[in-house]
Amino acid sequence: MMRSLKFYMISLMKDERGGVIAQALKTILLVLSWIYRLAVKIVDLSYVSGIRPSRKMNVPVVSVGNITLGGTGKTPFTMFLADYYRGLGRKPAILIRGYGDDEHRMLRDELADVPVFPGQDRIKNAEHAVREGNNILILDDGFQHRRIKRDLDILLLDSGSVFGNGFLFPRGILREPAKAVKRADILVITKADRIDEDRRKEIFNKLNGLAPGKVILTARHKVQYVKDPTGSIYPAESLKGIRVCVVCGIADPVYFEFILNRQGADIVSRVTFGDHHSYTQKDIDNIAKRCFLEDVDKIVITQKDYVKLKKLDLARIESKLIILSINMDIGEGKEQLIAGLNSIISG
């Protein structure tokens, strides 16, 4: 019941529902979004005026965030930044909000030697990280977190839904008005491989109008490799031609399937849940029944899903289970990104 209601509300926010009832609910959501807009405006003015100052840390800070609800690729991009700075001999630390988040467990699995500090008080965690010898801080989901002053602000925008329907939450998926992109130093259009050149130009023109002179990049999610629950690793090319069942509880399952199709996988079945879904043993039983009836070769999941699934009894699906390891592949504007990343640590 709650799951159905959640999906229905999301569909309203994305204007995927019509009819008298849907229109009435949209009107209510619109009124609520005006209240939300006022609250966002008050917060913005408090920082602009200096009433609420941003705290300058003793080490460089890079923020990765978005302006909409849903998945834009913050976690893969955060991993890209951590790998980049680690490659330069720096000691990065990642600050992420909340405990129990899928993302922080995934980051700890994928970046074993990069400390991850989860929690709402990111100033406290930043100070802790610096005391432990980390000399660059990465704010995951940091665009709206303005208590910490950042040296580089990177904003990710989903190419498929840059600003959603243009409305703020809860009538739409915007967390702030679109003009807030001006605060960012670098704008990254993610999942750019699923749009054509005309759409790319349209997005660039829109962003140039909102934030003239800002650096704009394109990026896509790329499969590094696949692995099984034992930790054995196989090349991304091993997906080609195999019959797969897609299982995911993420914000954008359509793009996940797009990635698999690009790798040549034959998707014959799918089991999808809402973003941040908490898997149960019953879910495993249903996945096993669904995928084995379809006689699939493999059951493909994301790393984000696996950090939750692996706590359950996977005996019924373990032999067919494979996990995708995905990184961020920067396309257009990579040189400008590297220049920006280097500029905050020079000297």
Beta strands in the chain (DSSP E): 61-66, 92-96, 116-118, 136-140, 152-158, 186-190, 215-227, 233-235, 243-248, 266-272, 298-302, 321-330
Which are the contacts of 227, defined by CB distance < 8 A and separation ≥ 6? 233, 234, 322, 323, 325
* pTM for this prediction: 0.94
Give 282-306 pLDDT, tens digit per residue: 999 999 998 888 899 999 999 999 9
Tell me how crowded residue 305 is: count the other CB atoms within 10 A of its CB.
22
Distance between CA 164 and CA 206 in Å, rounded? Answer: 13
Distance between CA 176 and CA 171 in Å, rounded? Answer: 12
What's the pLDDT score for residue 320?
95
Is 103 in contact with 95 (CB distance < 8 Å)? no
Instruction: Residue count of the chain, please give it.
Output: 347
Record the tokens describing residue 278, joined without a space: 């908490």
Assigned fold of 222-328: Rossmann fold (3.40.50)
Question: Where are the domains positioned within the chain?
Answer: 2-48, 61-220+330-343, 222-328
- The CA distances from residue 7 to 2, 17, 154, 287, in Å, are 9, 11, 30, 20
First to last CA, the chain: 57
What's the pLDDT score for residue 17?
80
Answer yes or no: same fold for 61-220+330-343 and 222-328.
yes
Query: If 0-12 CB within 10 Å is exposed, 13-18 middle and 19+ buried, where does residue 339 land?
Result: exposed
Assigned fold of 61-220+330-343: Rossmann fold (3.40.50)
What's the pLDDT score for residue 241?
96
User: What parts of the chain have a pLDDT lower than 70?
Assistant: 1-5, 7-8, 98-101, 347
Distance between CA 264 and CA 223 in Å, rounded? Answer: 12
What's the pLDDT score for residue 142?
94
Rg (Cα) of the chain, in Å, rounded?
A: 21
What's the pLDDT score for residue 184?
97
Give 252-277 pLDDT, tens digit per residue: 999 999 999 999 999 999 999 988 88
Instruction: Let me know the angle formed at the C-alpha of 141 by 214 and 138, rounded to the nearest 5 degrees.
Output: 80
Is 177 in contact with 37 (CB distance < 8 Å)? yes
Record the tokens describing residue 215, joined without a space: 């650096």
Residues linked to residue 62 through DSSP beta bridges, in sequence order: 138, 152
Distance between CA 137 and CA 160 in Å, rounded? Answer: 29
